[in-house]
Structure 1
């Protein structure tokens, strides 16, 4: 049976692929070239070494993998981060820098354990809640096995980048409502948590006008991607799928660190979600990484990515105890 949401994504991909490289594109080509230009620090970048293993977890009639990163040195009571990569809910893998390099860096910098989730991608008939189920299941596995991995079950945080940040936020919400073990904290890197992107600020709108529609996540790009994830129209999005729709009920979520990218249409979602969390009384720190496009953790040799990784390491090390949920 044909999947209309994935068929729409395929058509969009073909349309974007058909654009000639030399065709005139909207935006400021000089700015785009400067933002995309390799930096000297990227040429010699190498991710730190770590002890790496994999586990396959069964879920319903399917399965997904997790990749576990640990320091080579023996230890106990370490922080643990359950991490999900981005990729528009339908791409990305455990080997991309946003997954592998991030996990290795945090293992080294925070003396932490990282569980990277190879959640099921939304391709050809796979939609919400499959990837969300995988992240929630991976978190439960991590808490259950934390001590055996040399980590403290009360220091298990959850996080992700872009689409993975959406999955992490939704998982934190589900864990809160299930009354099960809560995340000690949440890290959301350039997240998208709204089914329709909020209106950008004047400052952000001016920056987005300098980018191509794809870089700016214009509605004609964003909506098909989001609806393919949902498997339904955007206006039918469930709160666990896109937690930004639940502005009135975010009480009790763990302390949350949000990173947004300066030149990124998804910044409107990250900024809005930070406002919603603050209004609900959640401890939240929201920062904008200057001079980068969406997805800067995929370029771990960037100085800006180095700073983000340092802040992430400090965050998971500092947050030691899961919050008490009071609703």
Structure 2
């Protein structure tokens, strides 16, 4: 499988789109039915610094296809993005072939944008839709999980808290290289040395992360646990898988969150992949393939 764009089973999965509305904004969910369902379902949110990203990107589409091929029906959420003006602060990546921030944000077209809590509430609405429709896709409504990558990991973590507080927790939560703290914990000496060697535009310096987070908040308090769940009461959350990227300035946030979960008595698995942030966007990358297998096993209780 390593080195392939996608497995044969993943490539042939036929998707369907459903229009939903939450927090006064329209959005879409795309369902990837498992050809051989094992009873699990995952509501999934792509990343993109809250301001870009879409359903066709590998982190959304390929991840969903590969998980569906492994037995989990995936509901991928095309949530409302945050305002895009902050994109001017992001440096262009110093890697040939990598799209610029301007090119990435242009993918969203002229769709309405909105800050927190719109996308967070849309994740909850997508979860509700998934539970209501799970049976027709061969999934158990009680085995619907929630997850996401990068900014999508933030949205999934916040939605998991909302659902816990409402009394309808997801079966499991999956967070891949997430940003869960409004202020990301400082890197240790080893990570600082790694960061110093990253190509321009491939890291998340504190000032950039701060600007992106404030842009997402749109004036709301960073202390709101539904906006940034790290550092808050995590008691009662369901089992959570946290996958970090070793060469990632956001790694300390995932590591700290996993530790906070354990202190709160929540079953937590922390896996550190030897890679850079965003590896789910690299088709065939060994870290991505391992993560597909690991997430599928976690959702199916094969851990």
TM-score by length of structure 1 reads 0.79
**1:126 matched to 2:114:** yes
**1:315 matched to 2:301:** no
Matched with 1:239 is 225
Contact (CA 8 Å) 1:185, 1:319: kept in 2 or not?
Answer: no
Instruction: Find the aligned partners of 1:197 and 1:215 in 2 and give their Cα distance.
Output: 16
Change over 3 Å in CA distance of 1:55–1:264 after alignment to 2: same
Comparing 153-162 with 224-233, which one deviates more in the overlay? 224-233
Instruction: Find the aligned partners of 1:127 and 1:237 in 2 and give their Cα distance.
Output: 15
Deviation at 1:211, TM superposition (A): 1.8
RMSD (Å), alpha carbons: 1.9
Of residues 131, 150, 164, the one that matches 1:176 is 164
Instruction: Find the aligned partners of 1:66 and 1:46 in 2 and give their Cα distance.
Output: 21
Deviation at 1:148, TM superposition (A): 1.9
Contact (CA 8 Å) 2:231, 2:257: kept in 1 or not?
Answer: no
Alpha-carbon deviations, 1:118-176, whole Å to 9, x = none? 01000266100000010011001111111122110111111000000000000000111
Which runs of at least 4 in structure 1 moved beyond 6 Å after TM superposition? none
Of residues 231, 242, 245, the one that matches 1:261 is 245
Number of positions where the alignment pairs a residue of Structure 1 with one of Structure 2: 272
Contact (CA 8 Å) 1:215, 1:265: kept in 2 or not?
Answer: no
Matched with 2:98 is none
Contact (CA 8 Å) 1:51, 1:72: kept in 2 or not?
Answer: no
Deviation at 1:53, TM superposition (A): 0.3
Change over 3 Å in CA distance of 1:127–1:319 after alignment to 2: farther
**1:157 matched to 2:157:** no
Aligned pairs (5 A) from 1:208-223: 208-212=195-199, 214-223=201-210
Alpha-carbon deviations, 1:270-302, whole Å to 9, x = none? 011111111111100001001x11010001311
Contact (CA 8 Å) 1:230, 1:237: kept in 2 or not?
Answer: no
Question: SS of the residue aligned with 1:257?
Answer: strand
Matched with 1:61 is 24
Matched with 1:71 is 34
**1:92 matched to 2:53:** yes
Alpha-carbon deviations, 1:67-94, whole Å to 9, x = none? 0001345x5x610000000000010000
Instruction: Find the aligned partners of 1:156 and 1:220 in 2 and give their Cα distance.
Output: 36
Deviation at 1:212, TM superposition (A): 4.5
Matched with 1:8 is none
Instruction: Find the aligned partners of 1:198 and 1:155 in 2 and give their Cα distance.
Output: 33
Contact (CA 8 Å) 2:25, 2:80: kept in 1 or not?
Answer: no
Contact (CA 8 Å) 2:28, 2:78: kept in 1 or not?
Answer: yes
Contact (CA 8 Å) 1:187, 1:257: kept in 2 or not?
Answer: yes
Contact (CA 8 Å) 1:51, 1:71: kept in 2 or not?
Answer: no
Matched with 1:207 is 194
Matched with 1:294 is 277
Comparing 237-246 with 88-97, which one deviates more in the overlay? 237-246
